């Protein structure tokens, strides 16, 4: 009897250890997913000066976490319930979220802040599903006062396409790029490049690139839908994701000062599809239409 019982106890102990290990793995996986979601949601969040220091009895962790962040929130304004861009201040020590300001602009569904955090750029996602195809979207520039959180309108230019949905700054901060999703085939999806002035104003586009073709999903991929424009970490390449034609376009040889030898801001169109040898880094692509990842 004693031998039989002693043989069962380690088995139960082993089962309990396995269960605890499984729960620990699940918690770590959930934490990683949560951290990813938070990092994506906080794309246009940046820190202000640290909050006042707590008493000397505070722990080092508490001191490190007491920061104040500015949150810039873009919205859709078609319902008439939103003004445009909203600025909030979040205190991580107290958990308090305070509205500071708002700026009126149409459908600022995507925002980007320049490196010095003095200027904010927003798409004006037009015309939308029901608007006239002849109406072009826009890019709006604002000056940002970091002390007060106020936004001051600078100017707006045409996005040179329909339904702009993404913005990216060139590595040197001299240019702003937008992805024009384009619900309709004419003008179709594209991306455009805009020069930025020292005072934050955005100029008219100096380059617009259209993609041709479609994908297998009828009614959804009948024409190009450029969804994003992302620079490589070294700043030498630009990747344009096109949902409509099921391709990621690689543009190379970015040069901030176009010349006859460089043939413009990016390499020639016949080198648009950059072949890759054995890659040192992987690029993960989420296929939105099929809800898969490659």
| pLDDT at 258 exceeding the cut of 70 | no
Residue 18 Cα to chain centre, angstroms: 40
Q: Does any domain span residue 96?
A: no
Q: Does any domain span residue 170?
A: yes
Domains: count for the chain: 1
Q: Does any domain span residue 257?
A: yes
For residue 47, what pLDDT is reported?
60
For residue 67, what pLDDT is reported?
87
For residue 65, what pLDDT is reported?
53
Q: Does any domain span residue 288?
A: yes
pLDDT in tens, 185-238: 888 899 999 999 999 999 999 888 888 888 888 888 888 999 999 998 888 888
For residue 46, what pLDDT is reported?
64
Residue with more model confidence, 38 or 190: 190
Q: Does any domain span residue 138?
A: yes
For residue 185, what pLDDT is reported?
82
Domain that holds residue 267: 106-293
Whichever domain contains 160, its CATH number is: 2.130.10.10
How many residues are recorded in the chain? Answer: 294
Residue 42 Cα to chain centre, angstroms: 10
> Are residues 68 and 91 in contact, defined by beta-carbon separation less than 8 angstroms?
yes
Residue with more model confidence, 125 or 285: 125
Q: What is the phi/psi pair of residue 86, to 5°?
A: -120, 145
Q: Which of 169, 249, 149, 40 is nearest to 178 (CA)?
A: 169
Least confident span in 47-56, 63-72, 136-145, 250-259? 47-56
> What is the pLDDT confidence band of residue 252, given thresholds at 50, 70 and 90?
confident
Least confident span in 142-156, 159-173, 266-280? 266-280
Q: Does any domain span residue 250?
A: yes
For residue 200, what pLDDT is reported?
97
Q: Does any domain span residue 230?
A: yes
% of the chain at pLDDT higher than 70 = 63
Q: Does any domain span residue 227?
A: yes
Long-range contacts of the stretch 83-86 (C-beta < 8 A, 24+) = 84/108, 84/122, 85/111, 85/120, 85/122, 85/142, 85/151
């Amino acid at each position: 009897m004693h031998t039989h019982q002693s043989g069962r106890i380690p088995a139960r102990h082993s089962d309990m250890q396995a269960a605890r290990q499984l729960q620990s793995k699940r918690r770590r996986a959930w934490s990683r997913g949560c951290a990813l979601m938070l990092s994506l949601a906080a794309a246009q969040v940046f820190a202000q000066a640290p909050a006042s220091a707590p008493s000397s009895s505070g722990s080092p962790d508490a001191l490190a976490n007491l920061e104040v962040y500015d949150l810039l929130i873009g919205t859709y304004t078609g319902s008439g319930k939103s003004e445009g861009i909203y600025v909030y201040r979040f205190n991580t020590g107290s958990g308090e979220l305070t509205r500071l300001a708002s700026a009126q602009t149409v459908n600022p569904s995507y925002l980007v802040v320049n490196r010095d955090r003095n200027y904010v750029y927003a798409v004006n996602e037009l015309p939308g599903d029901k608007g006239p195809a002849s109406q072009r979207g826009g890019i709006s520039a604002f000056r940002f006062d970091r002390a007060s959180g106020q936004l001051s309108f600078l100017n707006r230019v045409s996005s040179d396409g329909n339904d702009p949905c993404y913005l990216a700054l060139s590595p040197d901060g001299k240019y702003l790029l937008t992805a024009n999703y384009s619900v309709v085939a004419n003008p179709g999806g594209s991306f455009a490049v805009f020069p930025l002035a020292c005072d934050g104003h955005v100029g008219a586009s100096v380059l617009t690139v259209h993609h041709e073709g479609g994908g297998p999903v009828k009614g959804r991929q009948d024409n190009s839908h450029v969804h994003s424009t992302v620079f490589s970490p070294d700043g030498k390449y630009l990747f344009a994701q096109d949902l409509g034609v099921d391709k990621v376009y690689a543009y190379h040889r970015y040069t901030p000062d176009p010349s006859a030898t460089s043939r413009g801001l990016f390499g020639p169109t016949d080198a648009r599809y950059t072949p890759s040898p054995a890659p040192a880094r992987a690029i993960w692509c989420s296929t939105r239409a099929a809800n898969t990842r490659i």
